[in-house]
Chains A and B, each alone.
Chain A
Amino acid sequence: MARALFNVPKRVRRGELFEVKVLIQHPMESGQRRDDRGAIVPRDIIHSLSCTYNGDLVLRASLFPAISANPFLSFHVLAEKSGTIEFAWQDDQGGSHSESLPITVE
Chain B
Amino acid sequence: MIGRRRVLTLALGAAAAAGLAPLPARATPEEVQALIRGLVGEGTLRRGRVKLDLPLLVENGNAVAMTVAVDAPVRGPDRVESVHVFAEANPLPNVVRFEFGPAAGKAEVSTRIRLATSQTVIAVARTADGQLWSDEVELLVTLAACLE
Contact = CB atoms under 8 A, between A and B. Distances in A.
Interface residues of B, number: 34
B55 to A, nearest CB: 14
A38 B104 contact: no
A68 B96 contact: no
A59 B101 contact: yes
A78 B24 CA distance: 42
Contacts of A73: 109-111
Interface stretch (B13-21, B124-132, B138-146): B13-21
B103 A74 contact: no
B96 A63 contact: yes
Contact of A77 (B62, B97, B104): B104
Interface string A50-79: 001110111111111111110111111110
Contacts of B21: 34, 38
A44 interface: no
Contact of A60 (B17, B95, B99, B115): B99
Contacts of A64: 92, 94-96
Contacts of A90: none
A57 B90 CA distance: 30
Contacts of B101: 52, 56-60
A91 interface: no
A56 B74 CA distance: 13
Nearest to A77: B105
A59 B20 CA distance: 43
Nearest to B104: A58
Contact of B114 (A18, A56, A65): A65
A26 to B, nearest CB: 12
A34 B105 CA distance: 41
A62 B96 CA distance: 6
Contacts of B18: 34, 38
B20 A38 contact: yes
Contacts of A38: 17-18, 20-21
Interface string B4-34: 0000000000100110110010000000000
A4 interface: no
B98 A68 contact: no
A57 to B, nearest CB: 3
6 contacts: A34-B18, A38-B21, A66-B87, A68-B112, A68-B113, A77-B103
